[in-house]
Chains A and B, each alone.
Chain A
Amino acid sequence: MSITRVLVANRGEIAVRIIKACRALGIESVAAVSQADKESLPARTADRAVCIGPPRSADSYLKIESIIAAALGTGSNAVHPGYGFLAEKPELAEACAKHGLTFIGPRPENIRQMGNKLLARAAVSEFGIPVVPGSKKVKNLAEASRIAQEIGFPVLCKAAAGGGGRGIKIVADPKQLREAFETAAAEARAAFGDDTLYFERYIPNARHIEVQVLGDRFGNVIHVGERDCSLQRRYQKVIEEAPAPRLSEALREEIRQAAATVARNLHYENAGTVEFIVDQDRGAFYFLEVNTRIQVEHPVTEMITGIDLVQEQIRIADGQPLSLSQSEVRFSGHAIECRITAESPSHGFRPCPGSIVDWRPPEGPSVRVDSHCFSGYVVPPFYDSLLAKLITRGDDRSEAVERMRLALENFTVRGVDTVIPFLRFLLHHPDYTAGKVNTRWLEAQVEQFSHCA
């Protein structure tokens, strides 16, 4: 392996995950940490930690110059961006190349093209994959009005530079159009520096299904199955599982092949995820976007395939061919992931930074906990609220669900509020057990939960 030392340009559980993968491959790791994370688990477990700046992520984790300086200064020859922060900034991938560092992720042109949702839709349509019916760039309000009428209300107003659920507005009727269009443009300008908007048909009874893909620089592309991420709150995923329940085998195979087609045509290198919306009323699926990074929910795929996706990312970046072919990918059992965040479900999901007095995660042969937390850890207020990912596996879905219920019962966190009580409530809900959900289901449960809490 020519990669010998990896700078981990991220924090929290994913930094810990990357450090573990490096260690398993016999590679050294350097944790790039902000001042607030100097005593964090990644800082302690990496071979070395480097402070790259003050707590605010704009001054540390989002600063490309500091990441490059830290990598060069520590003699690292590769950079793993994790997810979030700079993971989908083509500028980081380019800066790495310029300074002789291997970027552990896709080529910058893929990141750039897929980062713009309009370019991505156009490219994927060319490959013969269905995209959600919608518009090209909407220039002004008059055009917005005409296009919205064509598509039909309610309609989704989306930012071309958005993604991961950010920059989306539902417009219920023509009266809301002006305000939605103008505020969406202002928000997109502020958040992404680009106020290009477009419209998409709103699909009320939808499931969010995404497919993990891997590609190497020799043109080999495989899919590693799909994940169902329909349970979302404010477009943020809460519970994910693999394989997707209640999906016909024909549709499942069609979606998996569509994802592989997208990756193959993009000459995609490294790990990526092709996201789709499944319209349950029409039995149809549409391309949504490509995430050009490792995803938070990657463990559910690992649990049913036995593939270590982060190690695979490093090997691919190192220039090695994929370690397995499509026919060697075997799916076995069912896995579920719950995101344990420091939010108070009984107080409108208010974030709860603070000191974790007692941290006792569940254990067991089919239970996996990816986390950077420990008793005495102080959850800083500067970053997102993810404390841990709790993953269970079963031979079938009901066994995985049963194990998740038990694992949630045996998860003790004191000192900060977490969503564990809400997750317990969801895992016992008959709709969830039956898999009768859509992307709006969880929001309704927030209401239900606050009534009975």
Chain B
Amino acid sequence: MTEDEVLQILNLIEKSSFDFLQLELGDLKLMVSKSGYIPGTAAGSGIAAAPVARPVMSSTAETKEPVAQAKPARAEAKPIDTGVVEGAVAITAPMVGTFYTAPEPGAAPFVQLGGRVDEDATVGLIEVMKVFNAVKSGAPGVIAKICVENGQFVEYGQTLFLVRPEVVLDNEDPPE
């Protein structure tokens, strides 16, 4: 299942009158809950073994807001298309446009293979109608792969770099 499909499912559930969805396709399990309701061990082994992120949305419980007003679901899981680099996360293009690896022609590139980046590091620029937009790393780590060339046209969501994350930071939520 792709990230797109998960997003579509989340959107469908959000607009529906259902509170809870459990989907099993082969060894993939997806559970979505609008109220935080998770049916314990009802479906057997279930939850702990689920290999995908489990987006549990908690709507602001006792308010009288209609269900459809609940905050939109967002799949936080970014590590798709990690290619051959194991454990790496992708830095993807935030918009469609022309990608530049350096601040100006002839200048040194923002990042190099094996280089260390922190979360706010600029890794490149995307030009759209003469406006240059900085692309941020979004994740601290080491550049494990450069997937695009200078001056290349990139689509929205296209993988630009793979970053091997550094050891877990103390402000990060432990994986479930």
Is A69 touching B129 in the complex (CB atoms < 8 A)?
Answer: yes
Q: Is A154 an interface residue (CB 8 A)?
A: no
Digit string of A315-356 for contact with B (CB within 8 Å is 1, else 0)?
A: 000000000000000000000000000000000000001100
Q: Is A74 an interface residue (CB 8 A)?
A: yes
A69: chain B residues within 8 A (beta carbon)? 95-98, 128-129
The segment out of A46-54, A189-197, A362-370 that lies at the interface is A46-54
Query: What number of B residues sit within 8 Å (CB to CB) of A?
Result: 20
Q: Is B42 an interface residue (CB 8 A)?
A: no
B11: chain A residues within 8 A (beta carbon)? 55, 353, 380-382
B8: chain A residues within 8 A (beta carbon)? 36, 378, 380
A29 to B96, CA, bound (A): 18
A66 to B156, CA, bound (A): 9
Task: Give residues 1-41 of A contacting B (CB, 8 Å).
Answer: 35-36, 38-39
Given contacts A35-B157, A36-B8, A69-B98, contact A381 B131 (CB under 8 A): no
Q: Is A430 an interface residue (CB 8 A)?
A: no
Digit string of B110-134 for contact with A (CB within 8 Å is 1, else 0)?
A: 0000000000000000001101000
- Please tell me which one of the listed residues B7, B12, B98, B156 contacts residue A51 in the complex, with CB atoms under 8 A apart: B156
A54: chain B residues within 8 A (beta carbon)? 156
CB nearest neighbor in B for A53:
B156
Is B96 touching A50 in the complex (CB atoms < 8 A)?
Answer: yes
Q: Is A296 an interface residue (CB 8 A)?
A: no
The B contact surface, by secondary structure, is mixed
Is A381 touching B12 in the complex (CB atoms < 8 A)?
Answer: yes
Q: Is B82 an interface residue (CB 8 A)?
A: no
Q: Is B37 an interface residue (CB 8 A)?
A: no
Q: Is B78 an interface residue (CB 8 A)?
A: no
A36 to B12, CA, bound (A): 12
A378: chain B residues within 8 A (beta carbon)? 5, 8
Q: Is B15 an interface residue (CB 8 A)?
A: yes
A65: chain B residues within 8 A (beta carbon)? 95, 128-129, 131
Chain A nearest CB, measured from B158 CB (Å): 7
Query: What number of A residues sit within 8 Å (CB to CB) of B?
Result: 26
A52 to B4, CA, bound (A): 14
Is A35 touching B98 in the complex (CB atoms < 8 A)?
Answer: no
Q: Is A129 an interface residue (CB 8 A)?
A: no
CB nearest neighbor in B for A52:
B96
Q: Is A414 an interface residue (CB 8 A)?
A: no
B157: chain A residues within 8 A (beta carbon)? 35, 51
A60 to B94, CA, bound (A): 12
Q: Is A95 an interface residue (CB 8 A)?
A: yes
Given contacts A51-B156, A73-B96, contact A354 B129 (CB under 8 A): no
- Please tell me which one of the listed residues A36, A68, A353 contacts residue B4 in the complex, with CB atoms under 8 A apart: A36
B131: chain A residues within 8 A (beta carbon)? 65
Is A73 touching B4 in the complex (CB atoms < 8 A)?
Answer: no
Digit string of A89-103 for contact with B (CB within 8 Å is 1, else 0)?
A: 000000100010000
- Please tell me which one of the listed residues A35, A55, A66 contacts residue B128 in the complex, with CB atoms under 8 A apart: A66
Task: Give residues 1-34 of B contacting A (CB, 8 Å).
Answer: 4-5, 7-8, 11-12, 15
CB nearest neighbor in B for A382:
B11
CB nearest neighbor in A for B127:
A69
Is B96 touching A35 in the complex (CB atoms < 8 A)?
Answer: no
Task: Give residues 112-166 of B contacting A (CB, 8 Å).
Answer: 128-129, 131, 153-158
Chain A nearest CB, measured from B110 CB (Å): 20
Is A50 touching B155 in the complex (CB atoms < 8 A)?
Answer: yes
Is A73 touching B15 in the complex (CB atoms < 8 A)?
Answer: no
CB nearest neighbor in B for A355:
B12
Q: Is A157 an interface residue (CB 8 A)?
A: no
Instruction: Name, among B4, B97, B155, B158, the residue most crowded by chain A CB atoms within 10 Å (CB to CB).
Output: B155
A281 to B37, CA, bound (A): 61
Instruction: Name, among B4, B12, B153, the residue most crowded by chain A CB atoms within 10 Å (CB to CB).
Output: B4
CB nearest neighbor in B for A32:
B96
Q: Is A70 an interface residue (CB 8 A)?
A: yes
A35: chain B residues within 8 A (beta carbon)? 4, 7, 156-157
Digit string of A60-98 for contact with B (CB within 8 Å is 1, else 0)?
A: 100001101110011000000000000000000001000
Task: Give residues 80-104 of B contacting A (CB, 8 Å).
Answer: 95-98
Chain A nearest CB, measured from B93 CB (Å): 9
A226 to B158, CA, bound (A): 46
Is B96 touching A66 in the complex (CB atoms < 8 A)?
Answer: yes
Chain B nearest CB, measured from A416 CB (Å): 11
**What 7 pairs between A and B have smallest CB-CB spacing?**
A73-B153, A51-B155, A69-B97, A69-B128, A51-B156, A65-B128, A53-B156
Name 10 extra pairs, CB < 8 A, besides A38-B4, A39-B4, A65-B129.
A35-B4, A35-B7, A51-B96, A53-B95, A55-B11, A66-B156, A68-B129, A73-B97, A74-B153, A353-B12
Q: What are 7 A-B contacts with C-beta separation under 8 Å?
A: A36-B8, A51-B158, A53-B156, A60-B156, A69-B128, A70-B155, A73-B153
